[in-house]
Structure 1
Amino acid sequence: MSDPTVSNPNFYRVVFENDRVRVLEYLDHPGDATTPHDHPDSVMITLSSFSRRLKSGDRQVELEIPAEQVRWLDAQEHSGENTGSTDTRVIFVELKEPKGDSAVSAGADAPADAGPSGAPLGPSQ
């Protein structure tokens, strides 16, 4: 697992952490790109509108996401590139507890944006 704060420290910083969650702030500028990294199950809060290309393996998806959105993200590995003309500002609330068989996760069954192969890639609505 590649921790984004280690693999991409100029974009990600920890703003809060305890034994149950880690909260990351993400900031990039037009044209910036990340190297591959992992995220556990997370909640993403967009602070700005942005356009982005996400890649995972041979899958790729183009996203345009408005500001002030709250979305569920299933655990995933990806890299990304800011393809727009605005900065990307996002807060990630990463869950540290593994998904349990009997646990009910709000939004866990929400449909995910699909990459070209139809597999989830990117934020769920």
Structure 2
Amino acid sequence: MQITGSSKDWAWPDDLDALIAAPQYHKLLFENDFVRVLDTCIRPGETTPIHTHRYPASLYVLSWSDFLRFDDMGNVIFDSRTLTQTPESGSARWTESFAPHALQNIGVQDLHIISVEQKNL
């Protein structure tokens, strides 16, 4: 489930931000007034804590693995196995902001993504 809208209208507390709530999976590579670049890596079998992504982002896939995304109540809201085309390493995608969620890597490879969040959209 993707939540769209201005980050100025963000309804969730800052302590759910990915860098605060799930720092073992999200590393800050760069930040200024316009963008925030995150390196996200989730190993097979791992599940992140509940966290948010306040800003829409361009995603660069370093390695892909199937995953489940859960809402903050533990309900599955997305299963990557339902995608019609599996993203390949070296591909890019766009995503909107994400409300509180957790992600479980159910595949056999690392799910490794570089995310360039757009802070002023």
Above 0.5 in TM-score?
yes
Aligned residues between the structures: 98
Q: Which runs of 4+ in 1 moved over 6 A?
A: none
* Equivalent residues of 1:50, 1:65 under 8 A apart: no
The answer to which structure has the higher helix fraction is 2
Q: Provide structure 1 residue ranges, at least 5 long, that are not aligned to the other structure.
A: 100-125
* Secondary structure in 2 matching 1:13: strand
The answer to which structure has the higher strand fraction is 1
Post-superposition shift, 1:69? Answer: 1.8
Letter in 2 for 1:88: L
The two structures have a TM-score, normalised by structure 1, of 0.72
Post-superposition shift, 1:59? Answer: 4.6
* Secondary structure in 2 matching 1:9: coil
1:47 matched residue in structure 2: 62
1:29 matched residue in structure 2: 43
- Relative contact order: is structure 1 or structure 2 higher (C-alpha 8 Å, sep ≥ 6)? 2
2:118 matched residue in structure 1: 95
Q: Provide structure 2 residue ranges, at least 5 long, that are not aligned to the other structure.
A: 1-11, 81-85
Letter in 1 for 2:58: V
**Identical amino acids, percent of aligned pairs:** 28
Post-superposition shift, 1:95? Answer: 1.2
The two structures have a TM-score, normalised by structure 2, of 0.74
Q: Does 1:60 align with 2:77?
A: yes
Letter in 2 for 1:70: A
2:8 matched residue in structure 1: none
